[in-house]
Structure 1
Amino acid sequence: MRVPLVDVGWDALSLVDAADERPLIERRAVVRDGFYEVQARTVIERVPQVAGIAQRWAVSPYRGCAHACRGCGARAGHRRLGLDAGPDFDTRIVVKPNAVDRLRAELARWDGQELAVGVSGDCYQVAERTYRLMPGVIAALGEAAVPFTVYTKSALVLRDAGLLARAGARVAVSIAFVDERIRRAVEPGAPGGQARLELVSALVEAGVDCRVLMAPVLPLLSDAADQLAATVRRVAAAGARAVEPVVLRLPPGTRQWYMEWLGQAHPHLVERYEELYDRAGMPSAGYEERITGQIAQLCGVYGMGCGPAPVERREPAAAQLALV
C-alpha cells in the first residue's frame, strides 16, 4: 500500500492566519539561522512527470535551493508557501527537521518502489551542513532495502560516501554542460563543472555507483554537437558509469523565471523557445528525441550507458525483518 501524500505539511489556515498578511511559510515555520523549519506530515511525495527523471516518488529534506539554477523544475513549489518562484526559491530554504522520523514511519508501509532523493532542493546544499539530515535518510532507506538515487551537485555528498556505498545507493551528479560561461549565467550558486567532474571521480573511487544527470540541456545554448560531445567526453573521463540526459523543462513557475532571464540575456531566442515548448512546459518530441539520440550515440562511443538505470530489488536488513 502506498503512503497517502499531501503537498504541504500543515492544516488549513485558521481565521487568525487569514488576517495575517505574511507569507504562509512565515506564519507556520520556525525561522532559525535564516532557514525555515517546518514539521512535515509526510516526506514521500510524487515526482511531477515533467521532471524528466525515472523515479515517480521522492524524498526531499529541503525545499528550495541555494544553487539558484534558473531552469530548476521545482520552483513552483514555493508558490504554495506564499513565496515567489524566483529569488525566494534561491534564498528562503525550507527544512524538514523531522524528515528522518517521518521517512521511517512511511517506509514501514512502502511498497518498495524506487525513490529519488533531493528533487525539491539539492539534499547536499549548504543547509545540510547545519542539519545533517542525509545520514539518517540514507540509513533508513538502506535498512528498508528501498532502491534510491541521490541527485546532487554538491561535493558535500562525499562526507556520506561510505554510507551510500553500503546502502547500495546510486548518486547522480548533475552536469549538463562544461562551458563555464553558461554555468555562471544559469547556475550561479552551483559548483563549477570541473569541480563536479572531480566529484564524480571521487565517488567512483569511493565505491559509489555514480552516474551523471546531463540536465538540463538548454535549447540553442548548450545543445550544439560540439558542446554535447565535450560534455560526454569529460564525463566519461571522470569515470561515470552512465549518463541520463534530460532536455530543459519549463513548467509553470520555472517558465516565467527562466524566460525573464532569457529575454534579458538572449532576447533573439525568446520567440524560438515559445515555438519549441508547449503549455505544460515540455519541449517538442522531435527536438528531444534528436538531442537524447545524439547523447546516446556519444555514450556508446565512450562505453557508457545512457538513460535510466534498471531498478534492483533488495531484501530488507535483518534488523527490520525482526520488527515485522
Structure 2
Amino acid sequence: MRVPLDRVGWDALPLVDAADERPLIERRAVLRGGFYEAQARTMIERVPQVAGIGQRWAVSPYRGCANACRGCGARAGHRKLGLDAGRDFDTRIVVKPNAVERLRAELARWSGEPLAVGVSGDCYQPAEQTYHLMPGLIAALGEAAVPFTVYTKSPLVLRDAALLAQAGAQVAVSIAFVDERIRRAVEPGAVGAQARLELVAALVEAGVDCRVLMAPVLPLLSDAADQLAATVRRIAATGARAVEPVVLRLPPATRTWYLEWLAQAHPHLVQRYEELYDRAGLPAEGYERRITGQIAQLCQTYGLHAGPPAPTPHEPRYPQLALV
C-alpha cells in the first residue's frame, strides 16, 4: 500500500526524492585501507587491440595503478566506474578480493589461450603488499597449464620468483628508457630504470623466463637514436633474452591526460603529436615501423631477440586417452 506523501515526515522526504550521485564504484565497493574492494564478476577480460601486446586476453587483480604512468593505456577503465582517467586512476585503486576464486572457476573451462597478467594495473603495485593475490593467481594458472606473461615495473615480483619459475611463467619488465629525468616526469610512481634493470638480472638469475617490454617509446622525447641505443645496451647487460618494443599508444582517455601534461611540459610538441596519432590512438605506421626497426637492429647487435615472443605451446589440462 502506498503511503500518502502528506503522511511522510519531512525528515524522510530527502530519502524518497534524493538520487545517489556517488560514483558507481563507491556504490558497489567497500572502501578499506584506502582501496576499493569490489567482487569481480569475471577475471579473464579481452585486451584492447590498441594495447600493442601479444596476448588477446588478460587477468588483472587490480584496476588503476600507483605507478601513475601518464601514457598508460588502461586509463579508460576508470571512467566506467564513475571516476576520472587521470588523478583517480593513479590514486583510487580497485581491488578484486575474490580474484583467485573467480579465476579458478573460469580456468576450468578456458581453452588454454595465453593470458597477460596485470594489464589494468601493475599486479605488483603497493596494493599487492596488502592483499597478496598474486601467489594464488600464479598457482591457479600453473595448475591449469595456461601460458601467461606477468607485466610489471615493480621489484616486488621477486617475492614470487620461485612460484613464477615453477609455473613456467614469463615476466615482462617494462623499461622504455634509461633517462631518469623522463622517468620522473612520466612514471612518477614507478621505481627508476636502474632498479628495473637490476630486477631483470635478479629474475634471470632466479631462473625466471624474463624479457623486457621496451614500452612505451615516447615520440620526440625518448626516441632519439642515442637514447634507444643506451637503453638496449643496458638491457643486454642484464641477461634478458628478448626485447619487445611498443611505441606509445594514446587511446582517448589516455590521450587527454597525456596531452594535458605535454602542453605544460613541452608545449611545442603538442601539434606534432596531434599530427602523428590517429583517432584510435595509434601512431603513424611509418613512424612506428622506423622506431621498431631501429630497436630490432640494436637488438641484433647486442644478441637479443626483438619483437613479441613466439606462441608458447601448451598441453591440454586433461589429455585425451589412447584408444588402443
Shift of 1:312: 1.8
Distance 1:221 1:306 in 2: 22
| Equivalent residue, structure 2, for 1:189 | 189
- Conservation of the 8 A alpha-carbon contact between 1:143 and 1:316: no
> Which deviations, in whole Å up to 9, do the C-alpha atoms of 1:120-152 show, x marking residues without a partner?
000000000000000000000000000000000
Indicate the SS of the match to 2:243: strand
Superposition deviation, residue 17 in structure 1: 12
Q: Is the 8 A contact 1:145 1:313 kept in 2?
A: no
Give the deviation of 1:310 after TM superposition: 1.1
Give 2:294's aligned residue: 294
Q: Which residue in 1 is equivalent to 2:38?
A: 38
2:112, 2:314 within 8 Å by CA — same for their partners in 1? no
Q: Residue 19 of structure 1: CA displacement?
A: 1.5
Q: Which amino acid aligns with 1:25?
A: I
For structure 2, the 5+ residue unaligned runs are 1-14
Q: Output one character per residue of 1:198-228: Cα deviation in whole Å (capped at 9) or x when no partner.
A: 0000000000000000000000000000000
Please name the residue that 2:241 is paired with. 241
Structure 1 residues 230-285: Cα deviation after superposition (integer angstroms, max 9, x where no partner):
00000000111000000000001100000000000000000000000000000000
Residues 316 and 256 (structure 1), Cα distance of their counterparts in 2 relative to 1, 3 Å cut: same
Gaps of 5+ in 1: 1-14
Aligned pairs for 1:1-20 (under 5 A) are 19-20=19-20
Give TM-score, length-normalised by structure 1. Answer: 0.92
Matched-pair identity in % = 84
Residues 138 and 268 of structure 1, relative CA distance in 2, 3 Å threshold: same
Work out whether 1:218 is the aligned partner of 2:235.
Answer: no
Asked if the contact 1:50/1:282 (under 8 Å) is kept, the reply is yes
Amino acid aligned to 1:73: G
Instruction: Give me the TM-score of the superposition, normalised by structure 2.
Output: 0.92
SS at match of 1:253: helix
Q: Secondary structure at the match of 1:202?
A: helix
| Distance (whole Å) between structure 1 residues aligned to residue 180 and residue 18 of structure 2 | 46
Aligned positions of 1:6-155 closer than 5 A: 19-155=19-155
Q: Within 2, Cα distance between the matches of 1:199 and 1:40?
A: 31
**17 and 226 in structure 1: CA distance in 2 versus 1, 3 angstrom threshold:** farther
Match status 1:281 vs 2:276:
no
Q: Deviations over 1:283-323 (max 9, x none)?
A: 000000000000000000010001111122233678x99xx
Judge conservation of contact 1:146–1:314 (CA < 8 Å) in 2. Answer: yes
Query: In structure 2, what residue type is equivalent to 1:216?
Result: P
Q: What is the SS of the residue equivalent to 1:238?
A: coil
Change in Cα spacing, 1:18 to 1:165, as seen in structure 2 (3 Å) is farther
**Offset of 1:16 from its aligned partner?**
9.0
- Corresponding residue for 2:312? 312
Q: Which residue of 2 is the match for residue 268 of structure 1?
A: 268
Larger Rg: 2
- 2:203 equivalent to 1:166: no
Q: How many correspondences in the alignment?
A: 307
For 1:317 and 1:214, the matched residues in 2 are separated by: 33
Q: Secondary structure at the match of 1:85?
A: coil
Give, in whole Å, the separation in 2 of the partners of 1:214 and 1:186: 15
Local SS of the residue matching 2:36: strand
- In structure 1, give the amino acid aligned to 2:142: G
Q: In structure 1, what is the Cα distance between the partners aligned to 2:19 and 2:72?
A: 33
* C-alpha RMSD over aligned residues: 1.8
Per the alignment, residue 229 of structure 2 pairs with: 229
Residue of structure 2 in register with 1:205 after alignment: 205
Question: Residue type of the partner of 2:309?
Answer: A
1:226 to 1:21, Cα distance in 2 relative to 1, 3 A: same
